[in-house]
């Protein structure tokens, strides 16, 4: 009888000291817009607090630089050609093991709020409340197991409200909890909440050094893309500059009116008060050429950073909840983004390219008793490492197929001798922004990129050329580096069991 009672109690709560997990996964939040990564353009005090109290990974990379594939890789610990999500059009097979299903099976209570973007319904979560597709900034629809409803307010605030409401119940569940709070912000089209409309008013945000770069040394892909601030931003949709009455709308501007119509009267008034004078100034200035590009950069970056400010506030609210409810000491807190973003580097917005502004992602971990406060790790991490890390922390099984590795030794200041010295990257989506399929390998210093449809290669030395504007692939002075990086690419292809990229690109085209 005693044995039975003990067994029952172990099953209900097998290890009461197991840590809770709060995983913040934002959308398109570049390291260049995080204080802890040395931002020159904004402040993120709440995210920085996680860094001050934990570990910051300086070389964390995505596996594929768009939303759905990176999210699927975070969830499954394997690359997209294994989990079935290689582009944003694929639907996630929820029957496969994920961070949520594995921790749920191990006794965690689990929740997911915000941007999901994997088409199929979330699995492994006791509670989920998600944005259909990309979601909206104002009056967003949310979908849960009961159906879809429209929620008044701004998406960043609502997502944090849902997270905190769930934490209120989870803390009394008698189980350790996993919360994923996936903010939609700061994803395009960067529509900040009213309280941030006037942030950076009258300021000039520093430009990246490569804002006006002409891609002269780069390959065909960099010269045929459609993600230039100068030429591929839409005045209304992206830059919030209203068209004159009767102007025919093209491209994404056709969707802009619907976005604004979701605002209530007070929100519309606040928006008009903030953006109306800016738009009047723009109309009067009649800018052209580089002056116009610089102006567009300012409009774009300020709205992006206003959305980041909202994300940072939302992180602060959850951290405060953990403090106020005596949960912080036994909760792992992770801040990450699905990938980075071009904030004007190379003249671009968006992501996709295997260059650092998009490839690198913020990864910051506060883990009481494990991560040393204020420490930094330069070993190479990737989105596929989160599943093995969190499953090991929670006492859950790590499936054999998992390709990532447990980050815990790095957090404890010990780099295993056999830790990876390179990551494999692969992008196959073709369509929006016209970025050709590519694969590549990134080490601590070099990036080698293969463009199969153009039969071209690019090689960058991040130490001497941190802005990646100088392709040295065919420079005889770097012949040895070129040879070694081609070997490194073949090694990561083999190690991560990557299908042949020439065939994949040909099929995608």
- Smallest distance from the beta carbon of 220 to Ca ion, in angstroms? 25
What minimum distance in Å lies between the beta carbon of 27 and Ca ion?
4
CB of 351 to Ca ion, least distance (A): 7
Q: Which of 19, 24, 26, 27 binds Ca ion (CB under 5 A)?
A: 27
187 vs 493, which CB is nearer to Ca ion?
A: 187
Q: Could you tell me if 236 and 253 are in contact, meaning their C-beta atoms sit under 8 angstroms apart?
A: yes
Q: Is 358 in the site for Ca ion (CB under 5 A)?
A: no
Binding to Ca ion by CB under 5 A, coded x per residue (else -) over 297-336, reads ----------------------------------------
Give the span between the Cα atoms of 193 and 11, in whole angstroms: 45
Site mask for Ca ion (CB under 5 A), range 449-478, x = bound:
------------------------------
Question: Would you say 341 and 358 are in contact if contact means Cβ atoms under 8 Å apart?
Answer: yes
Smallest gap from residue 73 Cβ to Ca ion (A) = 12
Nearer to Ca ion, 122 or 340 (CB): 340
Cβ contacts of 455 within 8 Å, gap of 6 or more: none
Shortest Cβ distance from residue 339 to Ca ion (Å)? 6
Smallest CA-to-CA distance from 398 within 178, 123, 105, 118 is with 105
* Span interacting with Ca ion, options 27-35, 151-159, 409-417, 466-474, rule CB under 5 A: 27-35
Distance CA 449, CA 454 (A): 12
Which residues inside 384-423 make contact with Ca ion, applying CB under 5 A? none
Q: Which residue is closest to Ca ion by CB? A: 67
Site size with Ca ion, rule: CB under 5 A = 4
Cα→Cα distances 266→4, 153, 261, 313, Å: 61, 11, 12, 22
Indicate whether 338 belongs to the interface with Ca ion (CB under 5 A). yes
**Looking up tokens 């690359």, which residue turns up?**
79
How far, CA to CA in Å, does 67 sit from each of 62, 70, 71, 129, 211?
A: 10, 6, 6, 18, 24
User: 106: closest CA among 180, 172, 178?
Assistant: 178
Nearer Cβ to Ca ion (29/104): 29
Per the structure block, which two tokens stand in for 456?
């071209």
Give the three-state DSSP class for 37: helix
Per-position x/- string for 253-292, each x denoting binding to Ca ion as judged by CB under 5 A, each - no binding: ----------------------------------------
Q: Please give the sequence-ordered ranges of beta strands (E in DSSP) within 140-203, or none if there are none.
A: 141-144, 147-150, 177-182
Closest distance to Ca ion from the beta carbon of 301 (Å):
17
Measured distance CA(20)–CA(200) in Å, rounded = 37
Neighbours of 311 (CB within 10 A): 27
Could you say whether residue 429 binds Ca ion (CB under 5 A)? no
**To which residue do tokens 């030395």 refer?**
461
Write down the residue that tokens 């319904």 correspond to.
Answer: 121
Tokens coding 193: 């909440």
Residue 55 or residue 88: which is nearer to Ca ion going by CB?
A: 88
Least Cα distance to 503 among 409, 447, 428, 425 occurs for 428
Q: Candidates 20, 25, 26, 28: give the one binding Ca ion (CB under 5 A).
A: 28
CB of 181 to Ca ion, least distance (A): 15
Site for Ca ion in 48-67 (CB under 5 A): 67
Residue with tokens 């056999």: 418
Compute the least distance from the CB of residue 62 to Ca ion, in Å: 9
Residue ranges binding Ca ion (CB under 5 A):
27-28, 67, 338
């Amino acid at each position: 009888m005693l044995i039975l009672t003990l067994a029952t109690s172990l099953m209900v709560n097998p290890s009461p000291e197991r840590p809770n997990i709060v995983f913040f996964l934002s959308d398109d939040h570049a390291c260049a817009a995080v204080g802890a990564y040395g931002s020159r353009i904004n402040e993120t005090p709440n995210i920085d607090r996680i860094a001050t109290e934990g570990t910051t990974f300086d070389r964390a990379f995505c596996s594929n630089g768009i939303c759905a594939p990176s999210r699927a890789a975070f969830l499954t610990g394997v690359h997209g050609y294994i989990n079935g999500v290689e582009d944003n059009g694929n639907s996630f097979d929820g029957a496969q093991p994920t961070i949520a299903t594995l921790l749920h099976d191990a006794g965690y209570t689990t929740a997911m709020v915000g941007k999901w973007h994997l088409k199929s319904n979330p699995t492994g979560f006791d509670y989920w409340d998600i944005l259909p597709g990309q979601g909206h900034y104002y009056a967003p629809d949310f979908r849960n197991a009961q159906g879809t409803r429209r929620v008044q307010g701004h998406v960043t605030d609502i997502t944090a409200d849902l997270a905190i409401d769930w934490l209120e119940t989870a803390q009394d569940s008698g189980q350790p909890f996993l919360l994923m709070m996936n903010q939609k912000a700061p994803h395009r089209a960067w529509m900040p909440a009213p309280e941030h409309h006037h942030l950076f008013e009258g300021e000039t945000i520093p430009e990246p050094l490569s804002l006006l770069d002409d891609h002269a040394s780069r390959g065909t892909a960099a010269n045929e893309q459609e993600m230039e601030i100068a030429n591929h931003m839409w005045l209304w949709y992206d830059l919030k500059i209203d068209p004159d009455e009767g102007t025919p709308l093209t491209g994404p501007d056709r969707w802009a009116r619907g976005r604004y119509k979701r605002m209530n009267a007070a929100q519309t008034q606040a928006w008009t008060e903030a953006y109306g004078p800016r738009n009047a100034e723009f109309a009067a200035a009649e800018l052209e050429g580089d002056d116009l590009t610089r102006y567009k950069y300012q409009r774009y970056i300020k709205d992006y950073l206003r959305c980041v400010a909202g994300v940072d506030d939302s992180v602060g609210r959850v951290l405060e909840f953990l403090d106020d409810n005596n949960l912080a000491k036994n909760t792992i807190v992770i801040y990450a983004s699905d990938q980075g973003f071009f904030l004007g580097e190379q003249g671009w917005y968006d992501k996709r390219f295997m260059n650092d502004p998009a490839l690198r992602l913020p990864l910051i971990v506060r883990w009481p008793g494990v991560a040393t406060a204020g420490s930094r790790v330069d070993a190479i991490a990737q989105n596929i490492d989160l599943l093995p890390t969190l499953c090991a922390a929670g006492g859950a099984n790590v499936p054999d197929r998992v390709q990532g590795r447990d980050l815990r030794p790095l957090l404890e200041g010990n780099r295993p001798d056999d830790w990876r010295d390179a990551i494999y990257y692969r992008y196959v989506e073709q369509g929006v922004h016209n970025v050709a399929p590519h694969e590549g390998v990134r080490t601590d210093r070099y990036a080698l990129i293969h463009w199969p449809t153009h039969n071209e290669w690019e090689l960058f030395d991040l130490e001497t050329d941190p802005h990646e504007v100088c392709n040295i692939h065919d420079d005889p002075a770097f012949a040895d580096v070129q040879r070694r990086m081609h070997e490194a690419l073949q090694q990561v292809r083999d190690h991560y069991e990557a299908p042949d990229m020439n065939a994949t690109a040909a099929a995608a085209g």
